[in-house]
Amino acid sequence: MQLLSHPFSPYGRKVTLAAALKGLEDRITVTQVDTNPLDNPEITTPNPLGKIPALIIDGDTAIFDSHVICEYLDSLAPAPVLFPRAGVERIRTLTLGALADGMLDAALLLVYEKRFRPEEKWHAPWQERQQGKIDRALDLLERRPPAWRETPNYGHLTLACALGYLDFRHEGKWRVQRPGLVAWLDVVTRAIPQFAASQPKA
Ligand SMILES: N[C@@H](CCC(=O)N[C@@H](CS)C(=O)NCC(=O)O)C(=O)O
């Protein structure tokens, strides 16, 4: 399998962690792709959305997005279970994953506004709107940090990557007055050695 990704992509990092936890690293080669050009066929051919990560399986079949790739990887090896098969645990996992992905989407849009729009077109109310999504999600998670019993699930991986991205691109400001969540990420860092190993460096 070929993973199209980039070391700076938090969604790609999520997939990398999932592959490591499932013991699938040896079956995946990673190709670094630049999504900044308007149309880079390296990624727009396999994924018309032009987004990484994408996983090429069976030669020319590409699967995306990161959630779908993680579900696929989860199906290839029995343990640890990243997506509980059914019931309330599955729904909790998916909801946490959706919340953390939403934080990531907002954090990425803030970065993209500055990267892809000229400064005179930056729009403060829109930036506040995105920041509000991130802050409200962080406050909710600070009140109720997600627990896990034996191994992290997909929701935990996604949240860890979202917090890692806020450290990387948003100066770690989320840490101020959120000791519960900081402690939570410390637990993750100790439990998943690949998390620290995949921390992006500018
Ligand atoms: N929902 C997607 C989001 C992927 C995404 O937005 N990736 C970024 C890189 S971190 C990207 O490829 N951006 C290029 C673009 O949006 O044109 C996923 O979970 O895989």
Mutate which of 33, 52, 63 for ligand 1? The one with the most ligand atoms within 8 Å of its CB, which is 52
Mutate which of 8, 14, 34, 35 for ligand 1? The one with the most ligand atoms within 8 Å of its CB, which is 35
Which of 15, 50, 76 is a domain's end point? 76
Number of folded domains in the chain? Answer: 2
Look at residue 138 in the predicted model and tell me its pLDDT.
Answer: 98
> Measured in angstroms, how far is the CA atom of residue 51 from the centroid of ligand 1?
4
Q: Are 113 and 152 in contact (CB under 8 A)?
A: no
Identify whether residues 60 and 92 lie together within a single domain.
no
Look at residue 105 in the predicted model and tell me its pLDDT.
Answer: 98
Which residues on neighbouring strands pair with residue 2, listed in sequence order?
29, 56
Could you give the CA distance from residue 171 to residue 188 in angstroms, rounded to a whole number? 20
As a whole number of Å, the CA-based R_g of the chain is: 17
* Rounded (10°) CA dihedral 96, 66, 126, 122: 150
Identify whether residues 161 and 124 lie together within a single domain.
yes
Instruction: Going residue by residue through the chain, which has 202 residues, state the pLDDT in tens, using 9 for 90 and above.
Output: 999 999 999 999 999 999 999 999 999 999 999 999 999 999 999 999 999 999 999 888 999 999 999 999 999 999 999 999 999 999 999 999 999 999 999 999 999 999 999 999 999 999 999 999 999 999 999 999 998 878 999 999 999 999 999 999 999 999 999 999 999 999 999 999 999 999 998 8
The whole domain housing 36 covers: 2-76
Q: Is 202 helix (H, G, I), strand (E, B) or coil?
A: coil
